[in-house]
Amino acid sequence: MSTQESASDFVGIDVSKAHLDIASRSTGKRWQVKNDSEGIAELVQQLRTLKPTLIVLEATGGLETAVTASLAAAGLQIAIINPRQARDFGKSLGRLAKTDKIDAEMLARFAEAIRPEPRSLPDEQTQELQAVLVRRRQLVEMLVAEKNRFPLAHSTMRPRIQEHIAWLEQELGDIDKDLHQRLQSSPLWREKEELLRSVKGIGPVTATTLLAELPELGQLNRKKIAALVGVAPFNCDSGKMHGRRAIWGGRACVRNALYMATLSATRCNEIIQPYYEHLIRGGKLKKVALVACMRKLLTILNAMAHSGTHWQPQLAMTKTVVGA
């Protein structure tokens, strides 16, 4: 082992609403700070002194936002991983017990063994756009739930539900106006949105989702971007058994938006529609064909974002892809 490797330190941070549990691999130290502004400031000072090679945290639905922003601002290398990765890694170590301290230590070991690639955090403007999109998804879910609840509700409750549905629809309209204004206020975002929406099937919500939730679009090759979104099929083979390939993981919010865009594209897009029909004629299940079209559409969008070229069916047919 080289001197540089022996001097490396890897830190795991387990995030909860009230506390942050921290573990360091090189020192073996375990400690806890409060998950508030004072505790985070204290942690930043401690880690600046420690100078870790990599800090790993789990995605916790937003509880990690404040600490990751502060650590990134301090110039520290951070990787935010999927909780499933952490659980599977813990199981591979035979760790069945679960406490915050154990989780922090396991994340530190994950950082040392796997060394996930650090990701730069989105700027404040992008974070705000992401927050608006999250709220929009919540409103849509509530609206669907209320509309499904309405026919089964007692007659005395229906006026209240109808009133709530009207409020949700009004709020959804206001959110869409807010999204439009945010995109129009940024020349860069406006240009990228126009590029994405030049593709038949890509609407305003899908374009905004890609801008906010998939900043890597146009920067990765077709295989990596497909795996990142979760539309890359993976083999399931063992010995003489050849299982059916299936998609797994990825960014669900991007994949959901891409799914709806692809449904539209199979009806109106001059490249995706004949490709979908070709797969169906070849005996593919509709769902399998649709996922294949999602990947093809994503590949085209990735190439367009890389080259800055608007939708041109002739170029799309040549399968121009990044890093192919």
Specify if 34 maps to a domain.
yes
Furthest C-alpha separation in the chain: 75
Whether 318 and 233 share a structural domain: yes
Are 130 and 110 found together in one domain? Answer: no
Tokens found for residue 143: 């609206």
State the pLDDT at residue 251: 87
What is the number of structural domains in the chain? Answer: 3
- What band does 283 get if pLDDT is binned at 50, 70 and 90? very high
pLDDT at position 137, please?
92
What average pLDDT does range 148-161 have in this prediction? 95
Q: Are 190 and 136 in contact (CB under 8 A)?
A: no
pLDDT-wise least confident of 65-74, 164-173, 230-239, 306-315: 230-239
> Is residue 168, in this structure, part of any structural domain at all?
yes
Please check whether residues 156 and 240 belong to one and the same domain.
no
| 3-class DSSP state of 14 | strand
Would residue 192 count as lying in a domain? no
- Which pLDDT tens digit goes with each residue over 69-104? 899 888 899 999 988 888 889 888 887 778 999 999
Burial of 106 (0-12, 13-18, 19+ CB in 10 A): buried
Question: What single DSSP character describes residue 65?
Answer: H
Residue 194 in domain: no
pLDDT at 248: 67
pLDDT in tens, 109-141: 999 999 998 877 777 788 888 889 999 999 999
Q: Radius of gyration over alpha carbons of the chain, in Å?
A: 23
**What's the Cα-to-Cα distance from 82 to each of 61, 88, 89, 277, rounded to whole Å?**
11, 10, 11, 36
| Mean pLDDT in residue range 259-283 | 95
- Between vectors from CA 260 to CA 187 and to CA 139, what angle results, nearest 5°? 75
**Full domain range(s) for residue 168:** 123-185
- Is 193 part of a structural domain of the chain? no
Same domain? 78 vs 136 = no
CA dihedral in degrees (105, 109, 110, 116; nearest 10)? Answer: 120
Query: Using one digit for the tens of pLDDT, what is the confidence trace for 210-248?
Result: 998 898 899 889 999 999 899 987 666 666 666 666 766
Q: Work out whether strand 54-58 and strand 78-81 pair parallel, antiparallel, or are unpaired.
A: parallel
Model confidence pLDDT, tens digit, residues 39-77: 999 999 999 999 999 999 998 878 888 898 899 888 899
How far apart CA 311 and CA 209 sit, in angstroms, is 19
* Whether residue 155 is found in the same domain as residue 131: yes
Residues 207 and 286 in one domain: yes
| Domain at 104, CATH number | 3.30.420.10
Is 191 among the domain residues?
no
Residue 316 lies in a domain: yes
Task: Looking at the structure, tell me whether residues 146 and 172 fall in a common domain.
Answer: yes
Q: Please choose, from the candidates 167, 169, 178, 170, the residue with its C-alpha nearest in 3D space to the C-alpha of residue 132.
A: 178
Rounded to the nearest integer, the mean pLDDT of the chain is: 88
Give a yes or no: residue 221 inside a domain. Answer: yes
Question: Where a domain ends, among 86, 114, 142?
Answer: 114
Burial of residue 239 (number of CB atoms within 10 Å: 0-12, 13-18, 19+): exposed
Residues 103 and 157 in one domain: no
Helices (H), 115-220: 124-149, 158-185, 187-197, 204-213
Find, among 302, 318, 290, the residue nearest to 227 by Cα: 302
Pairing relationship of beta strands 10-15 and 19-24 according to DSSP bridges: antiparallel
| Residue 294 vs residues 142, 265, 306, 310, 324: alpha-carbon distances, Å | 27, 9, 18, 19, 18
Distance (Å, whole) CA 243 – CA 231: 17
Mean pLDDT score, 297-320: 82
CA distance 216 to 230: 14
Identify whether residues 175 and 217 lie together within a single domain.
no
- For the residues 252-275, what does the mean pLDDT come to? 94
Q: Is 240 in the same domain as 304? A: yes
Give the CA distances from residue 169 to residues 162, 163, 200, 204, in Å, rounded to whole numbers and listed in that order: 11, 10, 26, 17
Do both 215 and 319 map to the same domain?
A: yes
Q: What is the pLDDT of residue 61?
A: 78
pLDDT at 14 over 70: yes
List of E strands, the chain: 10-15, 19-24, 30-34, 54-58, 78-81, 237-238, 241-242
Which pLDDT score is estimated for 238?
64
Indicate if 89 and 181 belong to the same structural domain.
no
Domain boundary among 96, 114, 132: 114
* pLDDT tens for each residue of 177-205: 999 898 888 888 899 999 999 999 999 99
Q: Which two tokens stand for residue 110?
A: 């994950």
| pTM, rounded to two decimals | 0.71
